[in-house]
Structure 1
């Protein structure tokens, strides 16, 4: 969505205040005039380079009706216009526009100009502009800083007192990083009122002990909130020992945060009162707003007054920082303090998770229950946790994604330093949309979601139980340096089960080196097994078990140890493991069959380890953290520059097709070929034949055996429909093939593709399925007739980095046999990687591509070529997922 798609968007300034940005029109002329009239003499000089310009004509020009050569945006703070940015297309170059920005003196130095430039650039890109040009006085250092710090590529021309800057509108990685950092700073500043308020008012604090408002107020008191606490109740002077006031307007001081617990029908008025009083943030506990007129009314109040909102329909917020001690929830019991940050759409999941962490001796640093998620979302908390030194692990329970592409960037940035865990939202093939291509049929919501998580380094689980298992493993042990694990047990059966579970979870049950086995043999009785899994036998005591663990942890071939033990009359081996674990740089997970808790923390003087009742969840948790550790070790990757792209021609082809067919559809074969060639994708160009004579002429032109493929609306999957005939070596076979297709498809046959036969090779598939929310999903796997039979595929969301492509190519189950060092005839991966990058770039730059299949992509030792391809396009509005704006 671009700024033009809605009447206004909310965004954050550097100090956390909320501004509204929207397009200007004739109705705004008076405000534009007033803004310019308020400028100081100095600012007017810097804006107009000399004597004051006729402000009336300036305002009319800026606020005139939208046309192809003009665009104007205004920034509104507390309901007043504080900044304007506009462009005028240069007549000599329709891809360039001259821009000007002006900001009220009282609002300068807070990021208004930079924010307007970002939004104006997004607007210009959506309308086909490629660059902005601005004239600026050399002494106007603030405006120069806006242009320089924006992150867009720029160059200066001219000298003397006046200079000109030319700004590219292409959003490269440098620009996205700059925007992301500005967003982080602004977001954190805005959330201070939510998570570090100096004062809190509970609106709707009931006297009845069973009411939600009463429970919230009592929890705030019980937690020892360090700020000022007040309550709003027109029928009481005091609730739970806290002074009450009849209304928000009567509060003696303006609180930073309001917690709204009134009945649903009263919520819009309560939020409106909070906004009028100048309260910066609200947590709406009340439910029953969404799906009625009440929800939009609350959003309207939040927008007009520039507030941040958590909820509605939520449990509340928690910050256990001793300097804050905020528990604005109605959960039972005090929130356990710890180092796990939680954001959850389900209040019940949040409460259950806090209880599970409490039982483990862990707790939360912060918890935000987003509920119906009108404003504050998981993206906000991911940005908060990047700077929060009290949060070591981030946990997400998401039922929906608001901006998944922005989520990917912010989650990836956090996961580089702190583990990010997510419970996968429910998804099934029932929700899969109807699709005609192999790729789109493959790209279920679950596939897209998992690709998002995997690229962002998010540790994904399916249940709260798996979440707790993994948090336990991460909380007390270091990350493994690899996935080679050894199982140590004093009970052979437990060891075998543990080793089997490790294999099922992608871990390597490593072969022990001779020196390691000899060291074990010297410690253990003769009947013990010193190969992996190591069975000490039940006759060893705890010190001997610990000595074996010490040997294994010192072995270079071991990255992690799973110690499974049962207590005997000779002692409990797991107690020795706990004592030793404190000095380790390799993770150790314990398994104690028979313990009541599925996972618990076993503590010694200076160490704690996670101990599981069964080896399967222990191995699953170890497998997850090993994959996460590998993701962190791997280079982040970059989106490489690609040569030979003819983007204008490809864009023109798509526009021409949509002009003729506004609803879109499948491109004709020659259109598909032209589009692929525009992006340098190797494709076998066909000759189109309408009858047998033209087919024979094409065969003669190729001078080799050919394939003939039906062009028919009923034969989208040509092979399955009997629409592909191969190895036609002479005129008789070509004519017979044309007759066969005519008989099979009748009047539906609109023509035929004639192509030369290519050398035999491995058939792969590369495809795209594009979603307006998630963007393009690129799929890679076995192709041809194997596509649906074997279903060996990997998927990533665009834009693709070189690291993404490497993981796709080597992520198939069949990859070792196709590309590995031990493959019989290893196929070249460079050409495949190049095709994946080019397909990803094409889908990214042409959002109208809804579905694409290269199937098969034939790969031989000498290269690859798409033998068959199809592309479906549909009208799409340009999107800018990284534009700074708030939900709602």
Structure 2
């Protein structure tokens, strides 16, 4: 990860700092920072007064990063307020680290933020430990080191103590980072969701002005803070006093809402930055891809502002103690417990309307629009500490930091449902896909893998989203997939049972006792096996008793209840008391109801959702069952796999990339697999026919000879594989045939003993610069792309991820029923996932086919592509832009 580029990051108090590597041009700023230190801070930093050689020391600190030296600075509004630097100690992997922070900015998290970024630079330089000499009385800086999250040791020796940090062991570093993130985001987003004062810029006098609608909503929905308007000509609008400019406002607002044309919006954000406004919502559109958009981004960096938008619907919070509505929604949504972040204003409007129709409400809504700054990651952190939000909803069209997103979403999903709409699911063509793995790893596949691993309940439409929100708002997820169907209309019950089986649910086998109780209760013509048909003539009360009996069965995890109103009775009227009394999940279905989904009791308290079609109820129930299954998985069981020589594979890949290799030759690919402990059939490489003869003489039995030729992507399909080659002379003939076929592009041949391939599978890796490595598993061989039965998960793989991959194929049940070695394939998946994680240069790996037998598995062919990539620190705190 490059540390020389400026990175926006949050301090503990929510202020935005700019962190970057220092350079010689910063020497004067470094010297000035030290000169501003108070006497006590100078004593703590230098164990005495400021050195007489401080000018030379400042120049050394500001030197360009080099072997054994690095320094990072934190800037607030372009002023340097903190520096952290290290100097390598001799030939060791240790470095002495030093910190200095402006006295007015101490305890704000500057030192911690600098150490986090400096540690990234140190690890990239191969350092493993930081060592700091600290005065015993300097408890503040000792606490900074100890709270960082790395393993540490304090050596006490008189008044000067030595603090040692181990950078190559995480200890509780991820948890410490997560806590600091939450604290900083809560402070930062409070400017947007709980501002004490707001100014609206761009309020027109016309009734159809967006700015006027925003102001009307803000005033009409209970905001109690100070409101002002910036308007160059008006004195008041809607009773709110106007100032002609940002500078003329009575006080610096905590939040501004900008509803101006693009060029004017850029000017306004710059003026707000100069005034010291900490946050803005930019409703304005038309900025992205223009010079105005560039000016907005530069203003965010220069002034340390937070921004929602541009091109957005706005921000809303229904907190009864401090409601804020800076949107242009047509009507006020109900207050509630659903938190929404959406890149699409239209989706936000549709969802707010749909929830209001269900009697459900929002806790907060943030429309991120073009997402220059505030993103879903920020809101996931906000909601982690927001007790009002019980359900989280996401509509995302792009990911800025998907690895962090997955980590935050998974952490949040452990405590409440997180829902997302799959956007952009159309099949994206993979240009020049040079392996079956690359062809399989479309953006949609990668996104779906991320959602599934993070425990996110994914849907395809806003209508489906509303279906699931209603379900999770009124019911808990089922404990399992065993479903009972109860109906007073036999056809409806059959349709529901069919839908359950299509969605991977299991029709529960009702116990003999349950059957006896139902027979004693219901008419003789009733069907008491699942699905249960009570007959249409059963009174509502009797139907409710039948549902109680079904739910009492220990073999039932959930129930779908299909009812139709007849002239005799309406069983739906009796369900509320039964559904609300127990812990089991129950959904109602009322064919013919006007709404796709509605509360069971119109206008009453939310008990459960009622759907107009049994297929919808079954689909929602399957999603909730999948979420509950995810909740039961261990969340951190990534195996250690000591047989993978991590340091060796890293060094090997780095050396090959340094030599300019892209696609590894057969010999190099074999060596990489050997270092990773991945089984490969014996493979020898021959550069000419003489070597081919010698290799064939050493290998017994029939051989496979495979061409290593430029631009030969798929060997079998391209005529690059010759089978059943016996002995040295046949090997010579095979080489000459391939030479004639490929000419000067033939670099050599790989020679392998032919083996019984058993069942042919595919295991591969496709690494994305944004998402990271994706592990692909599926049916293999020459028809891999034709069959296209595959599944994917993002690395690193947990044991649960590997098991899910093994069971995710359409053919999985038949595959493992055939008796092949599942354990061996699972181990292979875990090793490949480990390799993808520890070697950032691994852009593409294709093991196809992998031969699997009743005992063991072995890769038969391998393709490896490397790219020069710097490892990204998954925990480094930084904001977009």
TM-score, normalised to structure 2, is 0.96
Aligned equivalents of 1:746, 1:457: Cα separation in 2: 52
Picking from 748, 761, 772, the partner of 1:764 is: 761
Query: SS in structure 2 opposite 1:331?
Result: coil
Say whether 1:880 aligns with 2:873. yes
Say whether 1:494 aligns with 2:492. yes
Aligned equivalents of 2:755, 2:158: Cα separation in 1: 64
Tell me the equivalent position of 2:650. 651
Say whether 1:684 aligns with 2:676. no
Tell me the equivalent position of 2:715. 718
Query: SS in structure 1 opposite 2:747?
Result: strand
Contact 2:308–2:372 (CA<8 Å) still a contact in 1?
A: yes
- Alpha-carbon distance change, 84 to 335 in structure 1, aligned in 2, over 3 angstroms: same
Aligned equivalents of 2:300, 2:742: Cα separation in 1: 60
Offset of residue 113 of structure 1: 0.8
- Alpha-carbon distance change, 832 to 178 in structure 1, aligned in 2, over 3 angstroms: farther
Which runs of structure 2 are paired with 1:468-479 in the superposition (5 Å)? 468-479=466-477
Offset of residue 309 of structure 1: 0.6
Tell me the equivalent position of 2:203. 205
Offset of residue 409 of structure 1: 0.5
- Alpha-carbon distance change, 715 to 298 in structure 1, aligned in 2, over 3 angstroms: closer
How far does the alpha carbon of each residue in 1:596-617 deviate from its partner, in whole angstroms, 9 at most, with x for none?
1111112286652211111122
Tell me the equivalent position of 2:337. 339
Query: SS in structure 2 opposite 1:680?
Result: coil
Query: SS in structure 2 opposite 1:338?
Result: strand
Picking from 794, 797, 818, the partner of 1:797 is: 794
- Alpha-carbon distance change, 532 to 611 in structure 1, aligned in 2, over 3 angstroms: same
Offset of residue 162 of structure 1: 3.0
- Alpha-carbon distance change, 520 to 826 in structure 1, aligned in 2, over 3 angstroms: farther
Say whether 1:751 aligns with 2:744. no
Which runs of structure 2 are paired with 1:512-527 in the superposition (5 Å)? 512-527=510-525
Which runs of structure 2 are paired with 1:379-778 in the superposition (5 Å)? 379-603=377-601, 607-661=606-660, 664-731=661-728, 733-778=730-775
Picking from 290, 293, 296, the partner of 1:292 is: 290
Query: SS in structure 2 opposite 1:430?
Result: coil
Contact 1:152–1:169 (CA<8 Å) still a contact in 2?
A: yes
Say whether 1:841 aligns with 2:840. no
How far does the alpha carbon of each residue in 1:412-455 deviate from its partner, in whole angstroms, 9 at most, with x for none?
00001111111111132334343101101100011000000001
Query: How many residue pairs were aligned?
Result: 879
Picking from 10, 15, 21, the partner of 1:17 is: 15
Query: SS in structure 2 opposite 1:341?
Result: strand
Offset of residue 91 of structure 1: 3.2
- Bigger shift: 467-476 or 493-502? 493-502
Offset of residue 856 of structure 1: 2.0
Aligned equivalents of 2:363, 2:621: Cα separation in 1: 24
User: 5+ unaligned residues in a row in structure 1: which ranges?
Assistant: none
How far does the alpha carbon of each residue in 1:493-551 deviate from its partner, in whole angstroms, 9 at most, with x for none?
11111111111212112222222222222222222222222111212121121111111
Aligned equivalents of 1:681, 1:274: Cα separation in 2: 58
Contact 1:428–1:445 (CA<8 Å) still a contact in 2?
A: no
How far does the alpha carbon of each residue in 1:171-218 deviate from its partner, in whole angstroms, 9 at most, with x for none?
637322221221111011100010011221112222221111111111
Say whether 1:3 aligns with 2:20. no
- Alpha-carbon distance change, 174 to 780 in structure 1, aligned in 2, over 3 angstroms: farther
Contact 2:821–2:857 (CA<8 Å) still a contact in 1?
A: no
TM-score, normalised to structure 1, is 0.95
- Alpha-carbon distance change, 26 to 750 in structure 1, aligned in 2, over 3 angstroms: closer
Offset of residue 729 of structure 1: 4.8
Contact 2:682–2:753 (CA<8 Å) still a contact in 1?
A: no
Offset of residue 776 of structure 1: 0.6
Aligned equivalents of 2:874, 2:606: Cα separation in 1: 44
Tell me the equivalent position of 2:128. 130
- Alpha-carbon distance change, 527 to 408 in structure 1, aligned in 2, over 3 angstroms: same
- Bigger shift: 590-599 or 517-526? 517-526
Offset of residue 241 of structure 1: 2.0
Aligned equivalents of 2:802, 2:43: Cα separation in 1: 53
Aligned equivalents of 2:819, 2:831: Cα separation in 1: 25
Aligned equivalents of 2:521, 2:736: Cα separation in 1: 81
Aligned equivalents of 1:164, 1:679: Cα separation in 2: 39
Say whether 1:825 aligns with 2:819. yes
Give the RMSD, CA atoms, in angstroms.
2.0
Aligned equivalents of 1:433, 1:106: Cα separation in 2: 54
Offset of residue 794 of structure 1: 1.7
Offset of residue 742 of structure 1: 4.0
Query: SS in structure 2 opposite 1:466?
Result: helix
Contact 2:820–2:853 (CA<8 Å) still a contact in 1?
A: no
Aligned equivalents of 2:88, 2:877: Cα separation in 1: 24
- Bigger shift: 242-251 or 210-219? 242-251
Tell me the equivalent position of 2:853. 860
Contact 2:693–2:729 (CA<8 Å) still a contact in 1?
A: no
Query: SS in structure 1 opposite 2:447?
Result: helix
Query: SS in structure 2 opposite 1:579?
Result: helix
- Alpha-carbon distance change, 254 to 52 in structure 1, aligned in 2, over 3 angstroms: closer
Offset of residue 134 of structure 1: 2.5
- Alpha-carbon distance change, 449 to 368 in structure 1, aligned in 2, over 3 angstroms: same
Query: SS in structure 2 opposite 1:76?
Result: strand
Aligned equivalents of 2:822, 2:207: Cα separation in 1: 71
Aligned equivalents of 1:533, 1:818: Cα separation in 2: 31
Query: SS in structure 2 opposite 1:503?
Result: helix
Contact 1:707–1:725 (CA<8 Å) still a contact in 2?
A: yes
Offset of residue 348 of structure 1: 0.9
Offset of residue 733 of structure 1: 4.8
Aligned equivalents of 1:142, 1:699: Cα separation in 2: 70
Aligned equivalents of 1:419, 1:467: Cα separation in 2: 12
- Alpha-carbon distance change, 691 to 258 in structure 1, aligned in 2, over 3 angstroms: closer
Offset of residue 634 of structure 1: 1.7
- Alpha-carbon distance change, 431 to 752 in structure 1, aligned in 2, over 3 angstroms: closer
Contact 1:581–1:607 (CA<8 Å) still a contact in 2?
A: no
Aligned equivalents of 2:618, 2:772: Cα separation in 1: 34
- Alpha-carbon distance change, 708 to 813 in structure 1, aligned in 2, over 3 angstroms: same
Offset of residue 714 of structure 1: 4.3
Tell me the equivalent position of 1:55. 54
Tell me the equivalent position of 1:806. 803
Aligned equivalents of 1:228, 1:720: Cα separation in 2: 72
Offset of residue 264 of structure 1: 2.1
Offset of residue 774 of structure 1: 0.4
How far does the alpha carbon of each residue in 1:308-335 deviate from its partner, in whole angstroms, 9 at most, with x for none?
1111111111101111111111110112
Query: SS in structure 1 opposite 2:277?
Result: coil
